[in-house]
Amino acid sequence: MGWRWFHQWGSPRWFYERAGRWQLVCGWLALTLLITGSFWGLALAPVDYQQGNSYRIIYLHVPVAFLAQALYAAMAVCAVVLFVWKMKLADVAMQSIAVMGFAFTALSLISGAVWGKPTWGTYWVWDARLTSMLILAFLYLGVIGLRAAIQDPDQAGKACGILVLVGVVNLPIIKYSVEWWNTLHQPASLKLTEKPAMPASMWVPLLTNILGYYIAAAYLILGSMRAIVLERERRSAWVRELVSRA
């Protein structure tokens, strides 16, 4: 199994054909989970006695924030695969993930800010989590910008790989330093981190949505990867055949 599996992942054609099917599965699964989870969270989960209904934003904010961070790690894994095994598909994945990662980071920032309005009375607080999320957004932007600036796709991929690896080493340091900075400058009264244990009626829909967003991200990344693979492999025989058949 081992090596064959590896070769398959190295083949853009194999990926393109399979990814179409996986994408379909992921898409419908994500849609079902997200509709269920969001409706449950919005309508069926009990009201938070402290925050009122505004807490219902977590059913979007928390999964998206998780994803934003996980995707950077995923990008780093892709960078390692690209450098160690020179697998072109890893570079394609890196390119798609950077865009999706930025979108999710932006979404989590905006939802966090809007949640902050009723909770803290202001849209933006230099809270540790918001701040490190903001930096993460800049890191994603850097990767996207670097790729856009370099013409040759192979070269752009490697440059982004270097940047992502340097970034992923720094990310925990950034996170911890921002947390420390926050305690240095602000009294702990504004913190939202300490939460009482959630009842199952609250966390089950949250879990559903987390799963839903992860699968939705997989769906989006697969879709974007397919398009990029097609574009990059435009010269190869299988793409020509595929397109002329269509």
Partner 1 sequence: MLEFQFASLTAFFEMAPHGIYVWPIYGLGVLVLGGLTFANARQHRRAVRMIQRNLEREETHES
Partner 2 sequence: MSLERRMLTRELKLIAARPGDIFKPMWFLMLVISMVPLALAPDSDLLSEIGSAMIWVATLLALLLNTEHLFQSDFSDGVLEQWLFLDRPLAWLVGLKLIAHWLFHVLPLILITPIAGIMLSVPTDVLLALLVTLVIATPALTCFSGLGAALTLGSSRSGILGVLVMMPLFVPVVILAAGVLIRAMDGSDTLPLLALLGAFSVVAATLVPIAVSAAIRLNIGGSN
Partner 3 sequence: MIFEPIDIEISELSCERDDRLLFKNLSMTLSSGQILRVAGPNGAGKTTLLRMIAGLFEIQTGAIRMNQSPLTECLEQILYIGHKPQVTKDLTVLDNLKFLTGSDDDHLKRALGDVGLKGYHDSLVKELSQGQGRRCALARLWCVESPIWILDEPYTALDVEMVKTLDARITAHAAAGGICLFTTHQPPQSLKYTTLELGHVT
**Interface residues toward partner 3, by CB under 8 A:** 152, 234-235
Separation CA 134–CA 105 (nearest Å): 8
Residue 154: how many CA atoms within 13 Å on its side-chain side? 4
Asked if 214 contacts 73 with a C-beta cutoff of 8 angstroms, the reply is: no
Interface characters, 87-116, with partner 1 (x: CB under 8 A): -------------x--xx--x--xx--xx-
The span from the CA of 208 to the CA of 60, in Å, is 11
Q: What x-and-dash track marks residues 45-64 binding partner 1 by CB under 8 A?
A: xxx----xxx-xx--xx--x
Residue 165 interacting partner from partner 3, partner 1, partner 2, none (CB closer than 5 to 8 Å by kind): partner 2
CA distances from 129 to 82, 113, 207 (A): 31, 11, 20
The helix (run of H) or strand (run of E) holding residue 173 is: helix 153-185
Work out the number of other CB atoms within 10 angstroms of the CB of residue 123: 12
Shortest distance, CB of residue 152 to partner 3, whole angstroms? Answer: 7
Binding status of residue 165 toward partner 2 by CB under 8 A = yes
Q: Give contact residues for partner 1 (rule: CB under 8 A).
A: 27, 34, 38, 40, 42-47, 52-54, 56-57, 60-61, 64, 100, 103-104, 107, 110-111, 114-115, 117-118, 200-201, 216, 219-220, 223-224, 226-228, 230-231, 234, 239-240, 243-244, 246
